[in-house]
Chain A
Amino acid sequence: MRFVTEYRDRAKATALAGAIAELCAPGRHYKLMEVCGGHTHTIYKHGLEHYLPEAVELVHGPGCPVCVIPMGRVDDAISIAHQPGVTLASFGDMLRVPGGKGSFLDAKAAGADVRLVYSPMDALKLAVDEPRRQVVFVAIGFETTAPSTALTLLRAQAGGVANFSVFCNHVTIIPPLKAILDAKDVDIDGFIGPGHVSTVIGCRPYLPIAKEYGKPLVVSGFEPLDVLQSVYMVMRQLAQHRAEVENQYGRVVNWEGNRKALAVIDETMELRPHFEWRGLGSIPSSALKLRPHLSCHDAEERFEVPGVRVADPRACQCGQVLRGQIRPWECRVFGKACTPEKPIGTCMVSSEGACAAYYNFGRLTVPHSRPARPVTAK
């Protein structure tokens, strides 16, 4: 299939793997973080780690929007959903995310009107079609999905759709990367940069990662060869003692980003002073809320929201997984108390969550593959 199979070519992958191996300095271990959950999914789905030398370790970053939603926000949304006349519209990935008191699916089974939508415009259409319901769209995602929420808000405002509001959980990508690098016990050598979010923000915002923190970052596409080539490009920078922002995903991402998309975000949303990230704690100026002129479409203004902070479950080590300090199977509940059907941590919910991706695709080191690092239950 065009635009898919070209990026899954086995011979090219083998050649890249050889080139990556040649860049490894003897005795050195490399830890590269792929920021985006989409990359994590690709890595496990296609068995990419089989191509990498022992010395190159991929760790999974905070770029899965579902995985970084704290339990308190899930509870807040459920609390809105249980108010009379409310229809909660959500993306499918959010339905099974556990809050302190169950998930959206549990709320639906308990009588709340929760509907799965594929885009914020579907939620707006629900509001137009059912004017007696209060339709609340649970907005999640990085700058990737924020423009579609922004455009929907502008449409709602223009059309005077008074029964439509947004429970905004949009987050921004740069602050968590800095927070991870600021943490003391993190030893990441370089980043595979998120491709989708970069289609919106471009490459320039990553410059501080390279300039201030001295870490190479390569914005990467999502096909297996894209990711392998990006690993090669990061390794080449390390070998040449460079720390720059490079763009592997040039067929989609440009340096300056999508100005129209950034403009609609700016028109409708502003930074929150603080936002609680699952596993990473409170990070200043890391999330978006609706601007005051849209307060009539802001669910946090229109509905009673408990806003209770719920601590992450003590057994769950999502935070360490999201910071790349431990790998999914090293979490004490991985695959035992925490599985995709009964997730404790959010990393086990979305197919892009590091734990779910590893659980679904990677649990076994098969005999005909290269001898991998030991995979043992802890």
Chain B
Amino acid sequence: MTSQARSPAKVGTPSGPITLSHGSGGKATHALIESVFLKAFHNPLLAPLGDGAVVNVAGRDLAFTTDSFVVSPIFFPGGSLGDLAVNGTVNDLAACGAQPLALSAGFVIEEGFPLTDLTRVVSDMAGAARRARVHVVTGDTKVVERGKGDGCYVNTSGIGLVDERASGLSGAAALPGDKVMVSGPIGDHGTAVLLARGQLGISADIVSDTAPLNGLVAALLDAVGPHLHVLRDATRGGVATVLNEVAVASGVGVVLDEEAVPVRPEVFGVCEMLGIDPLYVACEGRMVAVVDGDHVADALAAMRAHPLGPESAVIGEVRAQPEGLVLEDTGFGGSRVVDMLVGDPLPRIC
């Protein structure tokens, strides 16, 4: 038996100007982060490249994170730019095992952007913040000339207090024997936004899953405490990309069971039509958790009991081999490699 395992974390060095693939969350994004940002900013807090950094302040672990939101269209079924801007940052903190303490909001607004739309975005942010039990405590506003921005971009940063039981949480903490879980059906958000763009002439009853997951994470920690090893927010690049990062960082193999991965029939149908794999489609309200195999039943029960996790599922397991790779046992009885995303998922042409 021979194999072609790749060397972990092997990414190409980008050349030429920035292309859209550099923003897709997949391989090109990683190459850019490693060769430009990590190179310039290199420090021990940044190096793990988690969803946020954990900073020790006077003996307490504070999680600190930032995210910019440029979604198009700004309003889509199930949410808006405003919901994403709050939930995205709250979930990055939650993935560090932290409850949010405070958020900031920075707005870059294009000249001519309707005030009613801005009011709606901000109102959605306020609603999402209430739901996550956090306040937006500071902010900034910039307006750029018409044509120099696309409506409105929002950046949010957040700080949160890391739960003491979550101090071991890390993308590098997955161990052979652990189970991989997801807090609900995957791909709803990405599919909803894709259809909302209206370019495909497909209509389906799909709404974004955007939601704050700090409550669900608290329930998970109550149930299994330090037996929770990894938490990742499956946004850009989807569950597949997140698990590839975990496999590389932890030096383990991840084997998924295709039939166990929850996907709504509508999302499955749209993805089938477009030749997109739901494993790569962004979620905005789904947590991927890696839990000690002996405690998976408790973790699953806790997630399913939470209002944002009734459809949680165990989707795979961690093995010692093949190091740095994600595999999937297909429902058909074969098996395949689930690689990191390269560029955005593009529809097949025939």
Contact = CB atoms under 8 A, between A and B. Distances in A.
A92 interface: yes
B339 interface: yes
A93 B275 CA distance: 11
B137 interface: no
Given A93-B348, A364-B327, A50 B339 contact: no
Given A51-B334, A365-B1, A92 B347 contact: yes
A375 B4 contact: yes
B16 A365 contact: no
Interface string A60-80: 000001100000000000000
A351 B275 contact: yes
Interface stretch (A138-146, A232-240, A305-313): A138-146
B258 to A, nearest CB: 9
Contact of B333 (A14, A44, A141, A351): A14
B146 to A, nearest CB: 18
Interface in A19-67: 38, 41, 44-51, 65-66
A255 interface: no
A4 interface: yes
A374 interface: yes
A375 B2 contact: yes
Given A93-B348, A364-B325, A109 B19 contact: yes
Contacts of A340: 27, 339, 342
Interface residues of B, number: 43
B350 A65 contact: yes
B17 A145 contact: no
B40 interface: no
Contacts of A362: 336-337
B57 interface: no
B127 interface: no
Contact of B349 (A13, A14, A92, A197): A92
A106 interface: yes
A154 B261 CA distance: 45
B346 interface: yes
Given A1-B268, A46-B330, A106-B19, A93 B349 contact: yes
Contacts of B18: 109
B331 A142 contact: no
Given A1-B268, A340-B342, A364 B337 contact: yes
B342 A341 contact: yes
Interface of B: 1-6, 12, 16-21, 27-28, 31, 199-200, 265, 268-269, 272, 275, 321-322, 325, 327, 330-337, 339, 342-343, 346-350
A177 B322 CA distance: 39
Interface in A306-343: 329, 335, 339-342
A260 to B, nearest CB: 18
Interface string A336-378: 0001111000000011100000011111111111010011110
Given A341-B342, A361-B336, A375-B4, A118 B347 contact: yes
Interface string A75-118: 00000000000000001110110000010011011100000111
B337 A363 contact: yes
26 contacts: A13-B333, A46-B330, A46-B332, A47-B330, A50-B334, A50-B335, A91-B347, A91-B349, A105-B21, A116-B346, A118-B200, A122-B199, A145-B349, A339-B12, A340-B339, A350-B348, A352-B348, A359-B339, A360-B337, A361-B339, A364-B325, A365-B2, A366-B327, A367-B1, A369-B335, A376-B2
Contact of B16 (A1, A106, A140, A363): A106
Given A1-B268, A13-B333, 13 more contacts: A1-B265, A45-B336, A46-B332, A47-B333, A65-B349, A105-B19, A145-B350, A341-B28, A363-B337, A365-B1, A366-B322, A366-B327, A375-B4
A13 B332 contact: yes
A360 B1 contact: no
Contact of B334 (A49, A108, A374, A376): A49
A46 B347 contact: no
Interface string A123-147: 0000000000000000011101100
B272 A4 contact: yes
A363 B339 CA distance: 10
Which of B18, B27, B327, B350 neighbours the largest number of chain A CB atoms within 10 Å of its CB? B350
A8 interface: yes
B201 to A, nearest CB: 8
Contacts of B20: 105, 108
